[in-house]
Structure 1
């Protein structure tokens, strides 16, 4: 009988310890989960996955059936799309291009929600690249910056292959989301802005949820929707999440001299408002929205149903402040890692669709722009004709 109080005491102590451990795990859950994604190997001695060969179809997540040729049935422009992060990390700083889980996320969520708005504007080119892992975006360690610098080499190689082998003088858009947007910033600065012929064919560029300094963007910011060759860039936060608004400014990395990634250091990021189609600080009411969409899991190529009047938006202190959407399908979903990535919906789907098509139309309507003719893809067999001498005699017959 005397043992019962002792057993009860032991049970209480164990219960208290378990409660304490559970509480600690809950409080520090983000740190614990983040630690599991750490490669735990310095980038300097890390052996990255093999480089992609962009002459091979397997190196592209999206590529037209005949990328080197186009016809009048194709959309009027091309879209070079740089994917956001789909790879969590753990073993690698940079993802293998054949990672099945990352590719599945791209096809199920990223492509329908973020490539979809641009498929009416152009043929789609989306390279697989050795993207920096999700973990590298959650720390400011130098290893993580090295991983992000490393990823750029693949994107630049893919873009050069696209221009040399597939573009054929056509107008094009560059679209980058999150990490892909940061890479797009450098691509615009190094490959497009320095080449007048390329710059003249750029219908527009989009850096979605990616920061670039407002005082030194890689190309001219978009001031109105019917404008070609400009940059639409923004990072967003919900109105009732001031910490997120602070973090996107404090933690965003931008390119600096010597291909270095650095913080904004008090500079404001460029802020484009998709509801207006312009870089402006005016408040856009929800009624202006052409349509948000949750296209996750939708069959590729299908146009999602649009939800109108979902959010208002205004650029404040360099951040696009958005009201909370009304529809339940426009809420973050998935596990902890999924919620650290771009959401599985697009609050500005229809707005971006209209925006991209308007910029392409403006470029094509410019009298100084000369649209190339489509490639000749059919041939006609010619029959030899008889040749007559001056006196009328036939000297060669078919």
Structure 2
């Protein structure tokens, strides 16, 4: 007789399969949740885990030393100079700021950022590219005060590097400044604090290229009033700035227009939300909301790994672009080499290519050609007369009449 308390094999198998199915479903739900929250999980791994107030900041660079520069000519430039500041290459995890000799972040600057973002300008003059204690990617992924402190440290380095740059190039050399991502953010501070207030420096600025970093419109009416936007392709001593996104990338657009921080006059950072952003279309070389079709696109380039002096093959007609609400909306390029990789926290990162490589090179070349005749003519003019001096009336002393013996 069969024991009624004993389960049949079919019922046992059914229970086992039920447990396995539930475990599988739970695992799938965990995987889906992990995928949805992947950036938040990644962010938690990047947290240095120590308040900035007690953090041991890496040693500051000595910009009189060649070792504190990625690029610095041995002699003063005979012509034009280019001051370039790289973007973020250090994700975080153990530090708020990367040491200037941290190997992996430095290699990414050399292999990726200099060939893609400095090279369009370096052909026009001698390149100066400082190392600096960059703020970690983690600091851009949240609103913590520690992250603001990390940016302040990085900005102080870049301003010190610019001061040394001016010393190295002398008092008469004209120059470009160009920065990408975090580097552009620090250059806004340089523009506000070091260039705009000094006419002798300002007159030598050919143009400032702030790539993928925000310049709020209110700054152009205030501390940057002396350095206008590059309204046309012929503008000089101006600011060329844009932040770009595919039109369907809502996360990146929100980060660019709401989460971003920008330097404030006198020191410190404030949010860009609600302030409006400068957008100069790099295809048209002008501040306009006109649409630039892909046929006008001079070319993007994936130049990673190229060494100085080597020119990558530009890929033209890859994207159209239009400034909309302060953001440069682009189209998905035809070439996969100009597609963003699928990396964690990708909306916060710079791509390993320059979508407007040839457009920026042509733009800077044209502005230099517009600048030099003006600059040379100014230098050929007689120096301006100083303020008139008042001369007090001198007493009149009569000359003795020698003929009359007096």
Normalised to the residue count of structure 1, the TM-score between the two structures is: 0.87
Matches of 1:334 and 1:271, distance apart in 2: 26
Q: State the 1:350 CA deviation.
A: 0.8
Question: Taking structure 1 as reference, are residues 252 and 338 closer, same or farther at Cα in structure 2, changes over 3 Å only?
Answer: closer
User: Residue 286 of structure 2 corresponds to which residue in structure 1?
Assistant: 278
| 2:29 pairs with 1:20 | yes
**Is the Cα–Cα contact under 8 Å of residues 332 and 339 in structure 1 kept in the other structure?**
no
Structure 1 pair 359/164, CA: closer, same or farther in 2 (3 Å)? Answer: same
Matched, 1:87 2:94: no
CA 1:244–1:70: 2 relative to 1, 3 Å: closer
CA deviation profile, 1:10-45 (whole Å, cap 9, x unmatched) = 433433332232222112111101110111111121
SS at match of 1:233: strand
Cα distance in 2 for partners of 1:247, 1:198 equals: 33
2:110 to 96, 107, 110: 107
Instruction: For structure 2, list consecutive stretches of 5 or more residues without a partner in the other structure.
Output: 1-8, 381-406
Match of 1:263 among 271, 275, 290: 271
Describe how 1:144-293 pairs up with structure 2 within 5 A.
144-217=147-220, 218=224, 219-293=227-301
- Does 2:77 match 1:70? yes
Deviation for aligned residue 1:94: 0.6
Shift of 1:120: 1.2
Alignment-derived partner of residue 375 in structure 1: none
Aligned-pair Cα RMSD in Å: 1.9
In structure 1, distance between residues paired with 2:330 and 2:20: 50
State the distance in 1 between where 2:143 and 2:370 align: 40
1:242 offset after TM fit, Å? 4.0
Q: Which moved more, 1:171-180 or 1:220-229?
A: 220-229
Structure-1 separation of matches of 2:273 and 2:248? 24
For residue 311 of structure 1, the aligned residue among 308, 319, 343 is 319
Cα distance in 2, alignment partners of residues 150 and 102 from structure 1: 17
- Give the SS at the match of 2:84: strand
Cα deviations across residues 120-149 of structure 1 (Å, max 9, x unaligned)? 111111100001000001112111111111
Alignment map for 1:109-124 (pairs within 5 Å): 109-124=112-127
Residues 301, 209 of structure 1: CA spacing in aligned structure 2 closer, same or farther, 3 A cutoff? same
Does residue 51 (structure 1) correspond to residue 84 (structure 2)? The answer is no
Aligned partner of residue 329 in structure 1, secondary structure: helix
Change in Cα spacing, 1:263 to 1:116, as seen in structure 2 (3 Å) is same
Query: What SS does structure 1 have at the residue aligned with 2:377?
Result: coil
Q: For the residues of structure 1 that align with 2:346 and 2:105, how far apart are their CA atoms?
A: 11
One of 328, 353, 362 as aligned partner of 2:361: 353
Match of 2:70 among 56, 61, 74: 61
- Contact conserved, 2:140 with 2:348, CA < 8 A, in 1? no
Equivalent residues of 1:173, 1:202 under 8 A apart: yes
The Cα of 1:243 is off from its aligned counterpart by 4.2
Kindly state the Cα deviation for residue 206 of structure 1 after the two structures are TM-superposed. Answer: 0.7
CA distance in 2, matches of 1:344, 1:154: 25
Unaligned runs of 5+ in 1: 372-398
Does the 8 Å contact 1:239/1:324 carry over to 2?
A: no
Are the aligned partners of 2:192 and 2:265 in contact in 1 as well (CA < 8 Å)? no
Q: Whole-Å Cα distance in 2 between the matches of residues 164 and 298 of structure 1?
A: 30
C-alpha deviation, 1:162, in angstroms: 1.0
Q: Secondary structure at the match of 1:215?
A: helix
Moved over 3 A (4+): 1-14, 337-340, 367-371
- The offset of 1:54, in angstroms, is 0.7
**Paired residues of 1:176 and 1:207 also in contact (CA < 8 A):** yes
